[in-house]
Amino acid sequence: MDFPADLIRLLSNAQSMAVLTGAGVSQESGLRTFRDSQTGLWAQYKPQDLASPEAFAREPKLVWDWYAWRREAIKGVRPNAGHYALVELEKRNSAFTLITQNVDGLHQMAGSRQILELHGNIQRVRCSNCGCLAESWDEQSQEVPRCVDCGGLLRPDVVWFGEPLPRSQLEQAVQAARSCGVFFSIGTSGVVHPAAALPYSAHNQGAVIVEINAECTQLTGKADYFLQGKSGEILPELVKKLADTASR
């Protein structure tokens, strides 16, 4: 892919960078999106029946089993070239923040370090009562496992419909967006708030916006650079171009 020369110069000299990733990045690893994974037994349920506090209060075992099934499905999934390219991009920038809407943990698996998980992580489990993270639990149990500290039911450490995002993670994401020189929006539809507002916050503070997506989004018109295609193909090429430029 031919990248604009001014974009390469900009990224080569960037002092700070923030990246927002969405489901499109994980899809390239073969991971189904939340709704796409509602197949077979799960196809009969609405998303709110499987991912809301009300659903868990009503049928905790149903919700627990759904997330246990999803955790099992993720076990065979591995990061793709886009994930690894972001690791390399982080190594090139001392001020770098990766903000993700994904809950699969693939960024961590690839080796990214400065990560803000806006929607939680499906690999973690916490108590629905006291909020403590569970170090281990019985995946084979016929009942919903309980917290060893208070006896409350365990639940996935993800943000459900109707729940606020973790305050600390969101505040750090907003700060990263407002203070960065370059903001990447990668593989996200740009319609899920408050994450969708982050690139606009960056834009309003003078950051250069780079969007990488298979299709145009509501953000595309505001982006300074729109690189259309798969992030697993574009990002590795971009990182290689930056490395080649630096070695000259």
CATH 3.40.50.1220 placement within the chain: 5-31+77-119+163-247
For residues 153 and 128, the answer to whether their CB atoms sit within 8 Å is yes
Q: Is the pLDDT of residue 192 over 90?
A: no
Q: Looking at the predicted structure, is the pLDDT value of residue 25 above 80?
A: yes
Give me the DSSP letters along 111-133.
T--SEEETTEEEEEEEETTT-PB
Whether the link from the prior residue into 194 is cis, omega within 30° of 0, is yes
Mean model confidence pLDDT for the chain = 93
Torsion angle (degrees, nearest 10) of CA 54, 55, 57, 60: -160
- Whether the predicted pLDDT of 53 surpasses 80: yes
- CATH 3.30.1600.10 residue ranges for the chain: 54-75+127-158
Q: Which residue would you say has higher pLDDT here, 246 or 124?
A: 124
pLDDT at 73 > cutoff 90: no
Q: Which range, of 23-32, 110-119, 199-208, averages the lowest pLDDT?
A: 23-32
Contact 86, 110 (CB under 8 A): yes
pLDDT level of residue 33 (50, 70, 90 thresholds): confident
Structure confidence by residue, pLDDT tens digits, 224-236: 999 999 999 999 9
pLDDT at 46: 85
Q: Which residue has the tokens 């990248």?
A: 3
User: What pLDDT is attached to residue 44?
Assistant: 79
78 DSSP assignment: -
Catalytic residues: 119
* Radius of gyration (C-alpha) of the chain in whole angstroms: 19
Q: Given a cut of 90, is residue 138 above it in pLDDT?
A: no
The CATH class given to the 54-75+127-158 domain equals alpha beta
Which residue has better confidence, 70 or 80? 80
Q: For position 35, what pLDDT does the model report?
A: 66
5-31+77-119+163-247 has which fold? Rossmann fold (3.40.50)
> What pLDDT does 153 receive?
97
